[in-house]
A and B are shown apart, each in its own frame.
Chain A
Amino acid sequence: EDKVVQSPLSLVVHEGDTVTLNCSYEVTNFRSLLWYKQEKKAPTFLFMLTSSGIEKKSGRLSSILDKKELFSILNITATQTGDSAVYLCAVTGGGADGLTFGKGTHLIIQP
């Protein structure tokens, strides 16, 4: 059975801190790993990773994939209160055509 496990499930830090969110996966015929940010409603797309060891970066956010060890990390530097959200990790390539999601990491940034 395809599985995505995210850790920690929740995290509270202060503004300005750096955070690292983890995602490990088990999926048949892995194709890609995606990160989304979910605030109140629609998950918004952050990154898609397909190749091992290549960092994707957007502003203060970055992510890297390790296909040998079957995990990915999402880093956020100099956190701001607007970064507070649930961060979702998902993979493609499993037994169905849809994404297989983890339960998410609930990140709270305190001022």
Chain B
Amino acid sequence: GAGVSQSPSNKVTEKGKDVELRCDPISGHTALYWYRQRLGQGLEFLIYFQGNSAPDKSGLPSDRFSAERTGESVSTLTIQRTQQEDSAVYLCASSLSGGRGAGQPQHFGDGTRLSIL
């Protein structure tokens, strides 16, 4: 079946602009995660959605970052007033169920490479 799909695959934008990144999880996966991977760094957790529960936003680095998900479908990550330090690969993952106690592995999309000029 189809894996996690992310779009666009690449995005180049000017500093100060807003960007919107999209993630389409694997069908039937209730949990969805966003991560950021900066050059030479490990993946950093940003936000987690589980069904209709309140999301865990504890990893969002500033109030310029926000994300939405409707039910168990597509999610969008929005970065407002982009800064050069936002340049990174943004990865989305989904799993059958999620959270700190879950035993289901996360499956990743190919990511969106975001470059801020």
Which residues of A does B touch, CB under 8 Å? 4, 29, 31-32, 34, 36, 41-45, 48, 50, 88, 90, 92-104
Contact = CB atoms under 8 A, between A and B. Distances in A.
A47 to B, nearest CB: 9
Interface string B2-40: 011000000000000000000000000000010100001
Nearest to A104: B42
A77 B99 CA distance: 33
A98 B105 contact: no
- Among A43, A90, A101, A102, the most chain B Cβ lie within 10 Å of the Cβ of A43
Nearest 6 Cβ contacts at the A-B interface: A98-B45, A41-B110, A97-B48, A97-B56, A101-B42, A101-B43
B90 interface: no
A93 B105 contact: no
Contact of A45 (B40, B46, B58, B106): B106
Given A34-B105, A42-B108, A48-B103, A102 B42 contact: yes
Is chain B's binding surface mostly helix, strand, loop or mixed?
Answer: loop
A29 B110 CA distance: 30
Given A96-B56, A98-B45, A99-B45, A29 B109 contact: no
A33 to B, nearest CB: 11
A95 B58 contact: yes
B43 A99 contact: yes
A97 B56 CA distance: 7
B103 to A, nearest CB: 6
A41 B98 CA distance: 23
Contact of A96 (B4, B40, B41, B48): B48
A96 B45 contact: yes
Contacts of B99: 97
Nearest to A34: B105
B71 interface: no
B51 to A, nearest CB: 13
Contacts of A95: 58
B61 interface: no
A98 B42 contact: no
